[in-house]
Amino acid sequence: MISVLSGGTGTPKLLQGMVQVTKPENITVIVNTIENNYFSGVYVAPDVDTVIYTLAGIINEDTWYGVKDDSFITHERLKEIGCPETLRIGDRDRALKIQKTILMENNSLSQAIDIQRKELGIKSLIIPMSDDESHITISTDAGEMEFHEFLVEHQGKPEVLEVNYQKVDPACGVIESIENSDMVVIGPSNPITSIEPIISARNVTKALKNAYVVAVSPIIGNQPVSGPAAKFMEAKGYEVSSIGVAKIYQNFLDKFIIDLLDAKYQEEIEKLISDVMLTQTIMRNNDDKINLARCIIG
């Protein structure tokens, strides 16, 4: 069995490759929930929803959120009648979010996700990192703001001074999944806002120390492939490179996969993590995803 720790862009691409090189039922995905919140009356679990849509084969791969070929009739109408609609949620995407919101009236988030993944025919297990409520804020030179306010309204532009969130309790199954896995994969996800919230959940680091853990760097050269990881890493005092990522994971990482373009960092990283592998880590097409998955799974 393989556990995969996931955010909502890089790791879902890798998951698309993994389910082609191993049986999907061998995979349990443990997903970041720190950015979850209510928007326009519905519960939004951005990374969880992306993982669900990815494994159901309906993800919009242009944006890595929402359902492909979606319509936006409800979104446009809500804006017309004066609802803030901070997030641009499509109609089919909204239907699944409404279903999750209704399910959560009588179920935990974990249970709601499990019902949805079964309905969508997903064979891999999907577990949220926590069933606790979460709250993440970003301290910036323009003041403290909610995560989506920073990312959407301010388009990630302010200088980031600090990333703030409370540690949570892991959902039922998180620790067991890590303990029972032959391998734990930390996909190429934002190390500060997608992976650290998972590894900082109570007892997760301890479980990782006893597991065989492989990570893929989301940083190539001195830039993330996409998204605001650089600003968050700098705010936390890490150099923006695969060396900085290695420093975040060094306490429990057994093998680190970095990009061929980062050969210059190999020696330095080997001082932190003994097994460093170089390969192409950028996933532009299906072959790239399969090749990276094969490098990890063997």
Q: Which residues of the chain form contacts with ligand GDP (CB under 6 A)?
A: 7-11, 13, 47, 188-190, 194, 216-218, 224-227, 229, 281-283
CB of 157 to ligand GDP, least distance (A): 16
Nearer to ligand GDP, 3 or 11 (CB): 11
Amino acid at 95: A
What are the φ and ψ backbone dihedral angles of 117, each rounded to 5 degrees?
-65, -35
Nearer to ligand GDP, 74 or 273 (CB): 273
Nearer to ligand GDP, 101 or 279 (CB): 279
Under DSSP, the state recorded for 24 is G
C-alpha to C-alpha distance for 288 and 274, rounded to whole angstroms: 25
CB of 81 to ligand GDP, least distance (A): 30
Nearer to ligand GDP, 14 or 74 (CB): 14
CB of 96 to ligand GDP, least distance (A): 18
Give bridge partners of residue 276 from the DSSP assignment: 256
Task: Residue 156: count other Cβ atoms within 10 Å of its Cβ.
Answer: 16
CB of 224 to ligand GDP, least distance (A): 3
Please report how the helices 73-80 and 91-103 are oriented relative to each other, as an axis angle in degrees rounded to 10: 80
- Whether the Cβ atoms of residue 209 and residue 219 lie closer than 8 Å to each other: no
**What tokens does 106 get?**
């009588």
Nearer to ligand GDP, 170 or 224 (CB): 224
Nearer to ligand GDP, 176 or 239 (CB): 239
CB of 106 to ligand GDP, least distance (A): 28
CB of 35 to ligand GDP, least distance (A): 7
What are the φ and ψ backbone dihedral angles of 28, each rounded to 5 degrees?
-115, 125
C-alpha to C-alpha distance for 50 and 140, rounded to whole angstroms: 27
Q: Is 124 helix (H, G, I), strand (E, B) or coil?
A: coil
Under DSSP, the state recorded for 127 is E
